[in-house]
Amino acid sequence: MLVLAGMVEAAIERGIEALKNRDVELARQIIADDLKINRKRYDTEEKCLELIATQQPLASDLRTIVAVLYIIVDLERMGDHAEGIAKIALMLADEPPLKPYIDIPRMAEVAIRMLMGSLEAFKNRDADRARAVCNEDDEVDALYDQVYRELLTYMLSDPKTTERATHLIWVAHNLERIADRVTNICERVVYLVEGTTGELNVSKY
C-alpha cells in the first residue's frame, strides 16, 4: 500500500511539473505509468483477499485489512486524477501560458502533504493526526475557489482564453478531488484505530 502511495505521490508531482514546463514526454510517461499504479492496486487487493481467505484474521487485524482495501481504491483514483492532469498538460503544451502557475502548484503541495500525513497517521495508528490532516482540506478548497474565480475573470474579460482557462480549472478540480480522497484515507485510519466510521470533513464540492 505504501509503495502504491509513493507511486501516486510521484505521479501528482510529475503532473504539475509537466504542466508548468509544458513537458510533453513527461506527460506521456505519467499517462503510461498509470497502468503500473492500477496493477499495484490490484496486486495489493489480491494479497488482502488471500489473507482473509487463508488466515481468518480477527478484530484489529481484520480492520487493518479492510482499511487497506478501501485505501488502495482511493490511491488508485488519485492516480487517475494525476493522469488527468498529465492529459491536460498535453493539451496545453502548444498553447502560450495563460498565467504564471502559482496557486495550482500550491494546491498540489498541500494535497501531497495531506497524503503523506494520512499515511503517517496510518503507520502510527494515530487518529488525532488523521483528523488534523482532514482539516487541511479547507486550505485546498480555498485555493480552488481562488483559482476558479481568477480563471473565470480571464474568460469573462477575453473569450479567447476560455479553452485554456477551462483546462486549468479541471487541473484544479483534480487536485481538489485528490485532497478529498485523502480525507477518505483519514476516515479509514480513524476506523482502524477506534472501530468507528463517519465523515471527518465534508467537502462542499
CA dihedral 122, 125, 129, 130 (to 10 degrees): 50
Q: Cα-Cα-Cα-Cα dihedral of 77, 178, 154, 165, to 10°?
A: -20
Which of 83, 131, 115, 97 minimizes the C-alpha distance to 20? 97
pLDDT at 205: 43
What tens digit of pLDDT does each residue of 28-51 get? 999 999 999 999 999 999 999 999
Name the CATH superfamily housing domain 2-194.
Answer: Phosphate transport system protein phou homolog 2; domain 2 (1.20.58.220)
Average per-residue pLDDT in the chain?
A: 93
Burial class (CB in 10 A: 0-12, 13-18, 19+), 3: exposed
Taking the alpha carbons at both ends of the chain, their separation in whole angstroms is 27
> Residue 21: how many CA atoms within 13 Å on its side-chain side?
11
Predicted TM-score (pTM) of the model is 0.92
Question: 33-58 burial, b if ≥16 CB within 10 A, otherwise e?
Answer: bbeebeebbeebeeebeebeeeeeee
pLDDT digits 0-9 by tens, 93-147: 999 888 889 999 999 999 999 999 999 999 999 999 999 999 999 999 999 999 9
154, 99 contact by CB (below 8 A): yes
Domain boundaries, the chain: 2-194
